[in-house]
Chain A
Amino acid sequence: MSKIICSAAIRGAHKIVQRAEAEYQAAMEKWGPDQEIGFPNTAYYLPIIYGILGIGVKKLKDAKDVLDRCRSLLPDMVAEHVWLPYLAPALEAGMATFFAEEIIEAIRYLESPDYYTRTEGPADGNIWLGAADDVILRKRGVEFVDGTAPGFAAILGAPPTKEIAVQLAQELQEKNLYVFMCSDHEGRKMSELLVEEGVQIGWPTRLVSFGPEYTAAVFAMGFATRVAMSFGGIKPGDFTGNLIYNKDRVFAFAMPLGTVTDEWYANAAGAINWSFPTIADTPIPEILPTGICTYEHVVSNVPYDQLVSKAIEVRGLKVTVSEVPVPVSFGPAFEGERVRKDDLYLECGGPKSQAVEWVTTRDMDEVEDGKIELFGPDVDDVEEGSRLPLAIVCEFAGRKMEEDFEPILERQIHHFVNHTQGLMHIGQRDITWIRMSKAGRAKGLKLKHIGSVLHAKFHQEFGAIFDKVQIKLYTEQEKVRESVEEAKRSYEYRDARIEGMTDETTEMFYSCTLCQSFAPSHVCIISPERTGLCGAYNWMDCKASYEINATGPNQPVEKGECLDPKLGQWKGCNEFIYKASRGAIDHYSLYSLMHDPMTACGCFECVAAVLPICNGVMTVDRDYAGMTPCGMKFTTLAGTIGGGLSTPGFMGHSKYNITQKKWISADGGIKRLVWMPKSLKEEIGHRLKESSERVGIPELLDMIADETVGISEEEILPFLEEKGHPALSMDPILE
């Protein structure tokens, strides 16, 4: 910790404790030891002292012990010539500061009962509210717990102008934060500036004017401490519990505006105990390394227009966007909306122009959340029926953001744009195709709104995995071309990375239990080389889903010791399966349909089945309604093997899985595939070709029979023989 800050904080703490001692002495003489003291209407006494030390200060004499504790906590002043790690002493000084300040404020309540209004808002010309009583605590604290108010900004001092004061207050309000105000800078007080500008202050508007002095900072800290006791069930005196509760749940920070005095430093140091960082407008030394706080401790010299966003970033607060700000309706109901030729106002991409969408990751300071820019003409600049090229570039930043999330976020663009009334979206990546309808345009819809939609929806649904997103839209040919080039490079990189991931090099697999609602014992284990049966979840999706919703259906499964590399069985997976199936299934293989295949739920895309006469395997997808060589149609197969069973000889899987290396690799892999519906063959033909080449039989695709060859084993066998299908010469599939 910076030496300057520590020395100042320790100096400040000394001054404050001295002041408390002096005032205490005077009060004792005047009122006597048995005089009752405390904050109004609260069961928490002086809450910081009660929460941290477990001491309920009821009478003046009870404060004696506390002051002694302050003394013992106070470190020696930092001498010029020593250089030590200062964090711990400064934190203790900060703690002592709060205890002392609570005593000072309690004595103030005693000496001047009308100093504070004791109300929810200004009363009789007095704007200073003082400590929140328990009724306010309960009512407002609820908002801290349920997230409607994620935390507070404790502002000490005031910005240089009224305009900045109003602007700051508004920005904090927009983030749903409470603004707790105290102290002054050169006589200017934030609360007064707001009142002068006609801004309503008080608990109902979340602009809380605690007191004119720096000591009123304890009302903010006391509030946080009480929230932990009343909502977190934290016992008085359990200081670790209290501080951790605040770190994890109360998104607060200190925002000193103006010269940071020793006393302010002392308060800021105290707040770090609660993991509340300090964001300052003045050039005080910074404390960037992380430790107690989630991220940095002190960040300084921040311009006024960036104070709030910086504070939010440093405290790790998530932005919530409740509305999608577009002039048209928004919702899944519009997903199916088509924009046909006759309704068409503007078209981007498709067969006749170029369009691309691309999600990328940037550094934190390269992204300004919510910034949406359009370079080039918008819909109003062009005639009805026009075409424009379009590039949608979404730049994400966040402490938890990972490159791996890019494709997942990018895939959402399709849905979000489609959910906007008046817009139709087809395709993805560089084959994006967007149409805007005349009706949409008439309601005021612009291309730029795509940015607003994406910003709002990304935050609403994926806020857990990133902090900031800005969106750039280009409609100039040259710029679009450049974006396409850049995006393509990134697509290639991603594809190569996914292709390159193997089960062997990945320690963590993921589960999916979404289908247990109808197949109670079914558990999908999803590894890089085995996507979910339904085709909707691959390993990366599960990883992101877990980050977003840690209690949801996708849980990390440490695969653990490998029990059988050929069949694909791991100790960790089996243990997980046993628990998650509630004891119904204790093991299965990821790579085999003959030996303990994975359980099948019912929503698999395809079913593979053994064909003993052909010594091979067939697979059939949901869309093929006809008969198959195993003697059952898809529906019959689904009914027979679904419901959470593991049926040797049969296996549910996704279409994509067929061309993954590990698909029934224990049984011989793709070389066993002797029959599949023609339409499926065509759908995945391209990748199937690559797989055939990988296994050294490039002509395999032509050897696989389909319904045009036959729908019984007897019918297809001659075909397989004629083509020299590799399955016929493999080891018998039935042992």
Chain B
Amino acid sequence: MSFEIPTISYNGVIRQITVGKEPNCVTVGGESCYPFYLFEGAMPHLPRIAMEVYDAPPEDWPQAALEPFADVVHDPAAWAQKCVGSYGAEMIALQLASTDPNAQDTPAEKAVEVTKKVAAAINVPLIVWGSGNLEKDKEVLRMISERCAEETLLLGPVEEGSYKALGAASLAYQHTIAASTPIDVNLAKQLNILLGNLGVPDDRIIIDPTVGALGYGLEFCYSVMERDRMAALTQEDERLQFPIVCNLGKEVWKIKETRLSEEEAPLLGDPLKRGVLLEAMTALLFLLAGGDIVIMRHPDAIQLVRGLMNELMGEGV
């Protein structure tokens, strides 16, 4: 008897979602198989890497992360241009970290201004990510949604506590939203149902499953993403058939291992290599779990992940 490779029977397909505005848009999703199981199905769109840009100069970044952007950290628009121009970013993720009431508490109007500037400076899709403070995000993202109506943004995080306000804003101004839930399949599904009930069309939802860095709970996030994908592709769970975005750069570069200097932790080796590898490995693992968009920071890490991704796609390095 000849050997037959067991195959999985899929009955679902991930929705294809287009982010951004013609002609600078990018489509993600569309998978009909587990990530990179190209022998069983198709991945019509390669996962995309978005590069981070911050709305205010970062104060506590390790040298390794700061170094490539040292000349542009004071100007988000120039920063974004550098990412696209010098590092070939396919998307930009504007992190509005300074709007957090526990940080600088930058007012929403200011965030709108920055968003407009960055959007005007680039010709790739723009992701705008709030600080994670629920009430402030509602105010900030809602205003951005209204005032930047001419852009088609990907806005996140949209949580259970803010889905009505931000879902409605997405409806009115045609933005895509990142539906964010704390590492749980059922909660992710529930939020997608709620967004659907609100009237948000299915082609404007991307799942943010919440991610952690390698060594900091990654495996839990990994298995939740895996289960998201299993439910979507093999269990006909229609409310989970959405692409996934992983906002991981900021997670990786805040862990101790990326921040200690060589003197502080001689056993951990070169801090640059260490940080880059941690970020690249985190990103790769999330791609293997089903990530469609990964938000990353360091150009070298991005380079590594691109290479690996191409190899997985069978396209050589």
Contact = CB atoms under 8 A, between A and B. Distances in A.
A and B interact physically: yes
Interface stretch (B128-136, B227-235, B243-251, B303-311): B227-235
B230 A582 contact: yes
Contact of B235 (A138, A517, A583): A583
A139 B145 CA distance: 10
Nearest to B239: A551
A142 interface: yes
Interface in B41-90: none
A146 B167 contact: yes
Contacts of A141: 172
A553 interface: yes
Interface in B168-201: 168-169, 171-173, 183-187, 190, 193-194, 197-199, 201
B165 interface: yes
A148 interface: yes
A572 interface: no
Nearest to B227: A520
A356 B168 CA distance: 44
Contacts of B164: 145-147
B146 interface: yes
A663 B154 CA distance: 52
Contact of B198 (A143, A145, A520): A145
A148 B168 CA distance: 11
A146 B162 CA distance: 9
Nearest to B166: A146
A517 B184 CA distance: 6
A146 B194 CA distance: 12
A200 interface: no
Given A141-B172, A142-B168, A147-B164, A233 B199 contact: yes
Contacts of A233: 199, 201
Interface string B132-150: 0000000000100010010
Q: Interface residues of B toward A: which range?
A: 20 to 34
A516 interface: yes
Contact of B168 (A231, A513, A582, A583): A231
A552 interface: yes
Interface residues of A, number: 22
Nearest to A142: B168
Contacts of A231: 168, 171-172, 199
B185 A520 contact: yes
Given A148-B165, A582-B230, A138 B172 contact: yes
Interface string B197-209: 1110100000000
A145 B194 CA distance: 12
A232 interface: yes
A145 B171 contact: yes
A230 interface: yes
A582 B193 contact: no
Contacts, number: 62
B237 interface: yes
Nearest to B192: A551
Contacts of B184: 516-517
Interface string B209-241: 000000000000000000100110001010000
A516 B172 contact: no
B172 A553 contact: no
B185 A516 contact: yes
A145 B237 contact: no
Interface in B4-36: none
Q: Which of A141, A143, A551, A552 gathers the greatest number of chain B CB atoms within 10 Å?
A: A551
Nearest to B164: A146
Main secondary structure of the interface of B (DSSP, over half): helix
Contacts of B185: 516-517, 520
B175 to A, nearest CB: 12
Given A517-B184, A551-B194, A553-B186, A145 B168 contact: yes
B171 A516 contact: no
Contacts of B231: 582
A230 B169 CA distance: 11
B172 A230 contact: yes
B146 A139 contact: yes
Interface string A129-145: 00000000011011101
Contacts of A513: 186
Contacts of A583: 235
Contacts of B237: 582
Contacts of B190: 551-552
A520 B186 CA distance: 9
Contacts of B183: 517
Contacts of B199: 145, 231-233
Nearest to A583: B235
Contacts of A517: 183-187
Interface in A117-166: 138-139, 141-143, 145-148
Q: Which of A148, A552, A582 gathers the greatest number of chain B CB atoms within 10 Å?
A: A582
Contacts of A143: 168
Nearest to A232: B199
A137 B193 CA distance: 26
A145 B237 CA distance: 26
A241 to B, nearest CB: 12
Contacts of A139: 146, 172
A582 B237 CA distance: 9
Nearest to A139: B146
B172 A551 contact: no
A520 B183 CA distance: 12
A146 B168 contact: yes
Q: Which of B183, B193, B198, B230 gathers the greatest number of chain A CB atoms within 10 Å?
A: B198
Nearest to B169: A142
B238 to A, nearest CB: 12
A516 B186 contact: yes
Contacts of A147: 164
Contacts of B142: 142
B239 to A, nearest CB: 10
Contacts of A232: 199
A146 B200 CA distance: 11
A57 B231 CA distance: 48
Contacts of B186: 513, 516-517, 553
A520 B237 CA distance: 15
Contacts of A148: 165
Contacts of A551: 190, 193-194, 197
A461 to B, nearest CB: 14
A231 B164 CA distance: 12
A485 to B, nearest CB: 44
Contacts of A146: 164-165, 167-169, 198
B140 to A, nearest CB: 15
A139 B165 CA distance: 12
Given A148-B165, A551-B197, A142 B172 contact: yes
Nearest to A516: B186
B235 A582 contact: yes
A513 B190 CA distance: 12
Interface string A544-558: 000000011100000
A520 B185 CA distance: 9
A145 B167 contact: yes
Q: Which of B142, B186, B194 gathers the greatest number of chain A CB atoms within 10 Å?
A: B186
A139 B198 CA distance: 17
Contacts of B201: 233
A27 B90 CA distance: 56
19 contacts: A138-B149, A141-B172, A142-B169, A145-B164, A148-B165, A231-B171, A231-B199, A232-B199, A233-B199, A233-B201, A513-B186, A517-B184, A517-B185, A517-B186, A520-B185, A553-B186, A582-B230, A582-B231, A582-B237
Given A145-B199, A513-B186, 8 more contacts: A138-B149, A142-B165, A142-B169, A145-B198, A146-B169, A231-B171, A517-B184, A551-B193
Interface of B: 142, 146, 149, 164-165, 167-169, 171-173, 183-187, 190, 193-194, 197-199, 201, 227, 230-231, 235, 237
The 7 A-B residue pairs whose C-beta atoms are closest, nearest first, are: A145-B168, A146-B164, A146-B168, A142-B168, A138-B172, A517-B184, A146-B165
